A and B are shown apart, each in its own frame.
Chain A
Amino acid sequence: ETGVTQTPRHLVMGMTNKKSLKCEQHLGHNAMYWYKQSAKKPLELMFVYSLEERVENNSVPSRFSPECPNSSHLFLHLHTLQPEDSALYLCASSQEWNRGRLITNTEAFFGQGTRLTVV
């Protein structure tokens, strides 16, 4: 509906597992984001990819590893997670660059999220 699709919608994994979250956007945007949403906390920006380059890593633990193979796809690779990593993980995209100039007045479009439970 928003043009940003996340899979899977739900994921339960053990602390020793390795899994990946996938995000795909069909909007032609040139920036993509991973956010973590936990109860009673502001949305936490985890990673930003702009023009397929990682431009932001907000002190995220190394057990979270992002990958952006092209402007339409974004992955979040997960390994040896902790129970406190259980949350809703949201992917978003926006049009951040126009003719080489950063534009910040555009809205971000979000996927429906992946509800992650670490057991």
Chain B
Amino acid sequence: AQSVAQPEDQVNVAEGNPLTVKCTYSVSGNPYLFWYVQYPNRGLQFLLKYITGDNLVKGSYGFEAEFNKSQTSFHLKKPSALVSDSALYFCAVRGHTGTASKLTFGTGTRLQVTL
């Protein structure tokens, strides 16, 4: 069965510093990988996805993510964090066919950016 691991419940970073939110996955075959963000009392908003091609994917609000096949990772990054980036971040994986075609989410990582 496919799965996503987000090993950190919370990441704390000072405004202006780079941030990384970690994600590793397990799926049969080549993965489709997604990052979503959730602000308080809101639904999930799509940030970016990896389908194929360049391992560095750029998304909304200055976020990017790097796909690493050998490490089965898809870490979310931003060069300079903002206080407004504070939210809950979810990584998700989807395979191509069969049961792997379901979208599977991690447990989420809370990002806290402070002044």
A residues at B contact (CB < 8 Å): 2, 4, 6, 40-43, 45, 48, 56, 90, 92, 102, 104-105, 107-113, 115
Are A105 and B107 within 8 A (Cβ)? no
Residues on the B chain within 8 Å of A115, using CB: 41
Determine if A56 and B49 form an interchain contact, defined as CB atoms under 8 angstroms apart. Answer: no
Please give the number of chain B residues whose Cβ is less than 8 angstroms from any Cβ of chain A in the complex. Answer: 25
The answer to whether B43 touches A2, judged by C-beta atoms less than 8 angstroms apart, is: yes
Given A40-B107, A42-B105, A45-B103: A104 and B43 interface contact (C-beta under 8 Å):
no
CB distance from B30 to the nearest CB of A (A): 10
Q: Please give, as numbers and ranges, the residues of chain B lying within 8 Å of A92 by CB-CB distance.
A: 43-44
Chain B residues within an 8 Å CB radius of A104: 32, 94-97, 101
State whether B42 touches A108 (Cβ < 8 A): no
B34 touches A107 (CB 8 A): yes
Contact A110 to B44, CB < 8 A, known contacts A102-B97, A104-B32: yes
Tell me, rounded to whole Å, the shortest Cβ–Cβ distance linking A104 to chain B: 5
Q: Which residues from chain B contact A102 at a C-beta distance below 8 Å? A: 97, 101
Other than the known A105-B51, A112-B41, what 18 A-B pairs have Cβ atoms closer than 8 Å? A42-B4, A42-B104, A42-B107, A42-B108, A90-B44, A102-B97, A104-B94, A104-B97, A104-B101, A105-B32, A105-B94, A108-B44, A108-B103, A110-B36, A110-B43, A110-B44, A113-B43, A115-B41
Confirm or deny: B69 has a beta carbon within 8 angstroms of a beta carbon on chain A: no
